[in-house]
Amino acid sequence: MQFPIDQSAFGVFDLCGGVFEWLDHWYDEGRHQRGLGGGAWGHSDPGMISVAGGYGAAPEATSASIGMRLVLRVGREGTR
């Protein structure tokens, strides 16, 4: 919650600024790159910050600026 006014429509904070997150779609028509969304700490180009996916990388790519977001869904009455 570094920027409380930057909450997504789903109630999620801090979607941009950590690492690019893998998305479940191909970035290019040749199916060589998977989509990456969000924004990474090491990239300052505002055009690359896109939750929908403004960047792509080979599926086997590794980098300090590519990762994933883990989500814990809490059930009713606080149960997991």
Query: How many other CB atoms are found less than 10 A from the CB of residue 33?
Result: 15
Q: Could you give the CA distance from residue 48 to residue 55 in angstroms, rounded to a whole number?
A: 6
Plot region of 13 (φ>0 → left; ψ -120 to 50 → alpha; else → beta):
beta
Query: How many other CB atoms are found less than 10 A from the CB of residue 46?
Result: 10
What are the pLDDT digits (tens) for 3-18? 667 777 778 777 666 7
pLDDT value of position 57: 92
What per-residue string of b and e applies to 59-72 under the rule 16 or more CB within 10 Å gives b? eeeeeeebbeeeee
Q: With 80 as the cut, is the pLDDT of residue 20 above it?
A: yes
Read off the pTM.
Answer: 0.62
